Structure 1
Amino acid sequence: MAMWIQAQQLQGEALHQMQALYGQHFPIEVRHYLAQWIESQLWDSVELDNPAEETKAKRLLDNLVSELQKKAQLQGGEDGFLLKIKLGHYASQLKSTYDRCPLELVRCIKHILHSEQRLVQEATNVSVWSGGQAMDSLSQRHQQINQAFEELRLATQDTENELRKLQHSQEYFIIQYQENLRIQAQLSSLSSLPPAERTQRETTLQSKRATVEAWLTREASTLQKYRLDLSEQHQKTLALLRKQQTLILDEELIQWKRRQQLAGNGGPHEGGLDVLQSWCEKLADLIWQNRQQIRRCEHLTQQLPLPGPMEELLSKLNADITDIISALVTSTFIIEKQPPQVLKTQTKFAATVRLLVGGKLNVHMNPPQVKAVIVSEQQAKALLKNESTHSESSGEILNNNCVMEYHQATGTLSAHFRNMSLKRIKRSDRRGAESVTEEKFTVLFESQFSVGGNELVFHVKTLSLPVVVIVHGSQDNNATATVLWDNAFAEPGRVPFIVPDKVLWPQLCEALDMKYKAEMHSSRGLSDDNLVFLAQKGFTSSSNNPEDYRNMTISWAQFNRESLPGRNFTFWQWFDGVVELMKKHLKPHWNDGAILGFVNKQQAQDMLLSKPNGTFLLRFSDSEIGGITIAWVAENPNKPGERLVWNLLPYTTKDFSIRSLADRISDLNHLLFLYPDRPKDEVFAKYYTPPLCMYQFTTPNPEPSGGATTFMDQTASPSVSHPNSFGVYPSMTDTMLDADGDFDLDDTMDVARHVEELLRRPMANQWSSQQS
């Protein structure tokens, strides 16, 4: 309700814009009387392009109607009678309007709320500015744009007033010109009169003609000056329009597209499209008004030709204003929702294109059709260089035609491709070491429509962000690397799809951190220590000083073409494996700060040896993709008084799909404190599986004891005894640990597989039969 209270304080043009949001599609009275309820609903949680969300939207519609009916019933007394009827009528109206398309109601209310928020924000910024306080750069830029629009509005109004004056003056000039012709006709007819009368009439008419002709001569010069002055004013207005359009299209829209691209790497969601549309619509409106004025001025010039350069000036103005509106229309045909950048064949995908000025130019009166085709990098280059006028395809997309729909509630004209599928792809010859997952394509959307009664016809095209086409899920990892590198390091206005081969290490750190935080849905990203660990891995370095890496560059080959030393996987493949493991199984533990992760074996040893026995930490495996291991400190059973750091065989996604990390840590009784000194139950107990769910893993009728049954996948430290472990696991000898405290791989794998078999057995049924 706070937003509605602020919206009611708007004044002037902002208040007018706010009122224009409402109408038959959503009455302002509904907004007023249900303000608190409307603002408390999660409208943004509904995905408008997902038909599966229709049930959620229908529930919101039903609840809205119900709330409106309740509000109507509460109205009483003489004053409330009419309101009761009106609110009841609105409830029925909304039900009938949106019952078959509830997503449109959600679209409408989201548009209203976002627009109100923008208007209130802009009004707040204006008041802050007038109060002498500094605004941030974004607010200053928006204020600059709004001030320029006011200047353009006044300039356009001035030229409109001057044009009317010119028209009135020209009309009076024509009347006087006709009067002069009438006087000449009268003079010609005097020959039939008697000489005395003819002389008298001739003197009078010639005097009158001289006066009129002198006036016409003066007025012709005045009209010519009016025309030249008006032409000069239009030139100034067009210069302002160009400047404003450059600011909006070449800066604001480009920045929005850049934010959209970074969102593909997990950056903040690209907002502000409604604000951009409002600016583009204002531009379209002003450009069209000026164009109509220039056309009217041309008509006046044709009506009354006068000596001078007006025809050439007006022709130039007309060409300039047409160029401006062409640039606006072609630049505002944009992709609102990008197709997936890793595109698998034979898999359904979606995309949405939008024409930001479609509603203002009434393009929806004859709804245009949009076609989508997939093109290669070379074909995209040719299209942008205008070397190719027709759209060659590098594949076949099913359901690739869609008609643009106009949503009256939001004023948006868009085409929603909901069920596209890439049937086949034609690849080009690859260069050198380039793999199929490094080859980039793009989805080209194109359409054609006319404005002004077919006066202007536009053929518009727009390219999606680069997509990498895969045919199997195993290619996803490498394809994602290509997309991440492109999204992070592409320059605005580049030739498709050139990216630098090398970047500074801090630039890559920023991209990896963005990706990691997005996948983990957490503000806890990669710390400086984490990034040093990654730098050591990427550069095969031992330095712990972040400054040593600040000016170093890392190449694409180092990132995801060349394997790490002694491994059969690349830097990115290792990092992506960590991200996938964490995202699927360990997200809460990372957000709790329980996982250090980015720690090598030597660092873990140094950290743990200074802590009490039983202290452990979790670190990512160096030798296996998507693995995490437990390292802990304990006594060496073979050398009393000596302490060693032991490392378990890494757990992977397969392990955690059987038993969670928390339960595995609970099973290992010799793990006591999570590094540096937190009791393990304090950290992990809230994630333990409830005991009742674990009966199937125990033997029947265990004898009561102070000890607990352990459920280890691998052996504990040899220095720890395990009373009452009921023989679920075979005994493990010390030979399973190598000199560095690691398990011998082959033996441990055999034990681990045996344990997994035990855990899969339906022992709960055996327990039941024995009890009976």
Structure 2
Amino acid sequence: MVNETDRRAAQKRLSMSQWKQIQQLEIRLLEHVDYLYDDNFPMDIRQALASWIESQDWDTAANDESMAAVLFTNLLSQLERVRSQEQNFLQRHNMKIIQQQLQVKYSTNPVSMARVISTCLREEQRILSSACTQEQGPLEKSLQNSVAFERQKNMDNRVGIIRGSVQLMDQAVKYIEDMQDDFDFRYKTLQSRESADRNSDMMKQEVTRLQEMLNRLDFKRKESLTKMDVVIKEIDDLMTSQLNPELQDWKRRQQIAAIGGPMLTGLDQLQSWFTLTAQSLFQIKRQLDKLGELVVKVTYESDPIPLQKPQMEEQVKYLIYHLIKSSFVVEKQPCMPTHPQKPLIIKTGVQFTTKVRLLVKLPEVDYQLKVKTTFDKDLPPGRVSRQFFILTNNTKVMDIEDYSNGCLSVEFRHLQLKEKKYINGTKGNEGLLSVTEELHSLSFEACFTVQGLTIDLETCSLPLVVISNVSQLPGGWASVMWYNLLTDETRNLAFFGNPPRSSWSQLSEVLSWQFSTFAGRGLNKEQLSMLGEKLLGQHASCSDYQVSWSKFCKENIPGKPFSFWMWLDSILELIKKHLLPVWNENYIMGFVSKEMERTLLKDREPGTFLLRFSESHLGGITFTWVEHSDNGDVKFNSVEPYTKNRLSALPFADIIRDYKVISDGVVPENPLKFLYPDIPKDEAFGRLYNSQPSKVHPYIPSTLIPISELRSNASTTPPSCQSPEPPMTPGEFDMLNEHLCFDIDTMSSSYSE
């Protein structure tokens, strides 16, 4: 609903950059903004180049190398310009350092910079949207709670304590080595004495001293081994109770981010924890090796090193093995560059990209680490009716990335799938699942040896949907959303054999994310309530009502030839391509029913209108205005829904401005006066008009004007829908716009859906 507060806020936003809006948020939300910016994209740049950054198409550049290279060069130029104008010496110095860091990080891979900036801008939009929406859903609340931040601080402290303890053990081992060298020297000196001297009092004192040294050496060995054992157990507990859960939490966040949710944590923090933990384990391994060397020189009865070292070594190797194996992750899920906001859907014959990363930095790896990808590895026979293979090169070498703090990673940018052909011409056993319900998987494998340990690495993508036609994209995206919303399993390929239900509170939150991702602004509480009525009817008020997969995506809406999701997806496409300015100003009520529409308008001033999405057309928007007759009757007039074909010819705001009605031969006039509830039309849409009609011109201006014929026999109850004229093609529009002053856009009376 559009109220006075929303209207003032919308008008204020029109003249305010996104960064200025961000700076006016409350502290709670600013903390989330602060988390977005790090060395990969310093906030100083965001501040200094705010307007320029927001005016560039980073989403496209994130998947276009040549465009990313141009933007990277331009960004450095813009930064140099700002730096040269900066009067503050310290700020100028900081900008120079940042400029140099950017060149080191992104000069060879500017696409990565574009992706970082694209993600930051998108997350800023989400945070702004959540500030306007007032109420967050349960999933987003769980991802943005303060407990997670406290847990991460605790993790930082614990890893730091372990590193400190391991460093101290290095000193302890060195002390043992020095003590043993001293003992060894004295012992060998004593042995070299003549036998006649060995019974002297001096010799007896030396033997006593050696025994004391050996006792201290034994004590220090036992003490060091005990401390090592404590640290090893501490690392084991850290990995089990905190590090692995943090990794699983990140993977869950990645799932949520894939379907439009917030991505509040990156991999850099995890990489730091994994790397520091691995460094501690490798250091303990070297300390144990050193103690093993000391035993060769000096040992004795009940020496603790031979007794305890083997078991501790095995434990350390076990922890290293599992730490490194778990650190092999899919950083970027498979995605077609043509649809960057719809990952996990792959079309045959179209290139897609994916990226894997090793979270443990391993300077010991001194050879090329090859990663091999396999499609549907070890898939049980009969699980899917279609089979595919990777057409392009499926092996690449991991490289060290300077811009990601030196981690090992590899990005496959040119993978492509092809469906297997069968000898008999069939595609195998046809299953009960549709094409968009079949789930597939992309696996990644590598093997390497480090410090005598051979480690097999393997990870896999989240389940994929493979399509052969873009018409299957909406159904495929519905499957991706449903899966990643309702399970945290990474490879449950049989999920749609018996898909679980979703509560309306869960589903509505994800649907709102679709609007914030694809249309820039999520749905408010009222809009979600309207959607709930559309899908659930009498159960709309129950947030825990369970929605089945079939009802959401497969069954047609009663009386309509399409499902709920197909209807909603077509609206998203319409907003994205034709209605973004109007939608983002919160002027489209959207999902109100015809009955509610009449209830809202009946007591309003004549000419009050509201905008809602068509319930009978896929991807259509209509407006209805109210009139009052002299005898007090209320009359409602609705226009035929505007679809993408009609809106490609004329911007929607211009349609609102220029709309005319012919009534009984009277001169055409615009019946639209106030946007519901009472906003003057030009006040609401004035800044969105594409062009202003000329007031002074030597010729009569040629303008395309949408006109409806309003017949005198219209009643308060809209008559049955008459067959409207088909929409014009762009070619017809250009021809008419060149020769006519106006066009009769619709020849129906009050149009009823």
What TM bracket, shorter-length normalisation? 0.7 to 0.9
Q: Residues of 2 paired with 1:428 and 1:575: CA distance?
A: 34
Give the partner amino acid of 1:462: T
Partner residue of 1:582? Answer: 575
Residue 228 of structure 1 aligns with which residue?
Answer: 222
**CA drift at 1:314:** 0.8
CA distance in 2, matches of 1:288, 1:276: 18
Q: Which residue number corresponds to residue 660 of structure 1?
A: 651
* Aligned match for 2:171, one of 161, 168, 193: 161
User: Normalising by the residue count of structure 1, what TM-score does the alignment of the two structures yield?
Assistant: 0.72
Q: Provide closer, same or farther for how the CA distance between residues 352 and 219 of structure 1 changes in structure 2, counting only shifts above 3 A.
A: same
TM superposition shift of 1:674: 1.9
**Counterpart position of 1:280:** 274
Q: 1:325 aligns with which of 313, 320, 324?
A: 320
2:555–2:563: 8 Å Cα contact kept in structure 1?
Answer: yes
CA contact (8 A) 1:445 1:461 kept: yes
Task: Determine if the alignment matches structure 1 residue 396 to structure 2 residue 390.
Answer: yes
Distance 1:376 1:475, change over 3 A: farther
Match runs of 1:270-309 below 5 Å = 270-308=264-302
Aligned equivalent of 2:589: 596
Q: Distance in 1 between matches of 2:64 and 2:730?
A: 40
Post-superposition offset of 1:494: 7.3
| Among candidates 595, 598, 610, match of residue 603 of structure 2 | 610
In the other structure, the counterpart of 1:59 is 74
The change in CA–CA distance for 1:402 and 1:619 in structure 2 (over 3 A counts) is same
- SS of structure 2 residue aligned to 1:501: coil
TM-score for the superposition, normalised by structure 2: 0.74
Cα 1:235–1:45 shift into 2, 3 Å: farther
Partners of 1:63 and 1:711 lie apart in 2 by 43
1:356 aligns with one of 356, 359, 369: 359
Q: What is the deviation of 1:475?
A: 0.1
Aligned partner of 1:369 in structure 2 is: 370
Cross-structure match for 1:648: 639
Q: CA deviation at 1:292?
A: 0.7
Q: Deviations over 1:94-117 (max 9, x none)?
A: 99989973739969999xx9xxxx
Indicate the SS of the match to 1:229: helix
Distance 1:743 1:615, change over 3 A: farther
User: Where does 1:66-465 land on structure 2 (aligned, <5 Å)?
Assistant: 101=108, 103=110, 136-179=146-189, 181-183=191-193, 186-187=194-195, 201=196, 205=199, 219-246=213-240, 249-308=243-302, 310-340=305-335, 341-358=344-361, 360-363=362-365, 365-375=366-376, 378=379, 394-408=388-402, 410-424=405-419, 431-432=431-432, 434-452=433-451, 455-465=452-462
Match runs of 1:519-558 below 5 Å: 519-522=518-521, 525-539=522-536, 541-542=537-538, 548-558=541-551
Say if 1:154 and 1:527 are closer, same or farther in 2 by CA, change over 3 A.
closer
Distance (whole Å) between structure 1 residues aligned to residue 488 and residue 106 of structure 2 = 46
Q: CA deviation at 1:237?
A: 0.6
- Is 1:65–1:95's contact at 8 Å kept on the other side of the alignment? no
Q: What's the counterpart of residue 8 of structure 1?
A: none
Contact 1:616/1:673 (<8 A) preserved = yes
Work out the CA distance in 2 between the residues paired with 1:742 and 1:604: 17
> CA–CA distance in 2 between the matches of 1:96 and 1:518?
30
Change (3 A) 1:673 1:98: closer
CA positional deviation for 1:299: 2.0
Cα RMSD (Å) of the superposition?
A: 4.5
* In structure 1, distance between residues paired with 2:588 and 2:86: 52
1:93–1:648 Cα change, 3 Å: closer
Residue 465 (structure 2) aligns with = 468
Residue 315 of structure 1 and its aligned partner are, at CA, apart by 0.9
Deviation at 1:635, TM superposition (A): 5.5
CA contact (8 A) 2:352 2:414 kept: yes
Identical-pair percentage: 27
- Please give the alpha-carbon distance, in whole angstroms, between the structure 1 residues aligned to 2:510 and 2:97: 50
Instruction: Give 1:569's aligned residue.
Output: 562
CA contact (8 A) 1:376 1:441 kept: no
2:416 alignment partner, SS class: strand
1:741 matched to which residue of 2?
Answer: 718
Give the 3-state SS of the residue equivalent to 1:761 in structure 2: helix
For residue 603 of structure 2, give the secondary structure of its aligned residue in structure 1. coil
CA contact (8 A) 1:65 1:94 kept: no
**Relative contact order, higher structure (CA 8 A, sep 6+):** 2
Once residues 627 and 155 of structure 2 are traced to their aligned partners in structure 1, the CA distance between those partners, rounded to angstroms, is 67
* CA-CA distance at 1:37 after TM superposition: 6.7
- Post-superposition offset of 1:282: 1.7
Q: What is the distance in 2 between the residues matched to 1:521 and 1:380?
A: 43
How far apart in 2 are the matches of 1:251 and 1:106? 29
Alignment deviations for residues 206-238 of structure 1 (CA, whole Å, 9 cap, x no partner): 766665555555554543333222211111111
Q: Residues 649 and 408 (structure 1 numbering): CA distance in 2 closer, same or farther, change over 3 Å?
A: closer
Conserved? CA contact 1:670–1:716, under 8 Å: no
Q: Aligned pair in 2 of structure 1 residues 688, 606: CA closer, same or farther (>3 Å)?
A: same
- What residue is the counterpart of 1:116 in the other structure? none
Query: What letter corresponds to residue 243 of structure 1 in structure 2?
Result: D
1:435 CA drift (Å): 0.7
- In the TM superposition, 1:506-521 aligns within 5 A as 506-521=505-520
Distance between the aligned counterparts of 1:90 and 1:538, measured in 2? Answer: 55
Mapped partners of 1:104, 1:650: distance in 2? 41
SS at match of 1:465: coil
2-side partners of 1:41 and 1:350: how far apart? 28
Is the 8 Å Cα contact of residues 634 and 717 (structure 1) preserved in structure 2?
A: no
Deviation for aligned residue 1:379: 6.0
Whether contact under 8 Å (1:649, 1:742) holds in the other structure is no
The question of 1:477 aligning with 2:477 is answered no
1:588-639 CA-to-partner distances (Å, cap 9, x unmatched) read 2122222111111111122222223322222112222212222222368xx9
* Residue identity matched to 1:478: G
SS in 2 for 1:235: helix
How far, CA to CA, are the matches of 2:112 and 2:436 in structure 1?
41
Q: Which residue of 1 aligns with 2:125?
A: none
8 Å CA contact 1:160–1:293 kept in 2: the answer is: yes
User: Structure 1 residues 226, 425: CA separation in 2 closer, same or farther (over 3 Å shift)?
Assistant: farther
Which residues of structure 2 form unaligned runs of 5+?
Answer: 1-37, 121-144, 336-343, 422-426, 661-669, 742-753
Q: Is the 8 A contact 1:371 1:447 kept in 2?
A: yes
Partner SS for 1:441: coil
CA contact (8 A) 2:163 2:280 kept: yes
Q: In structure 2, do the counterparts of structure 1 residues 210 and 35 end up closer, same or farther at CA, with 3 Å as the change threshold?
A: farther
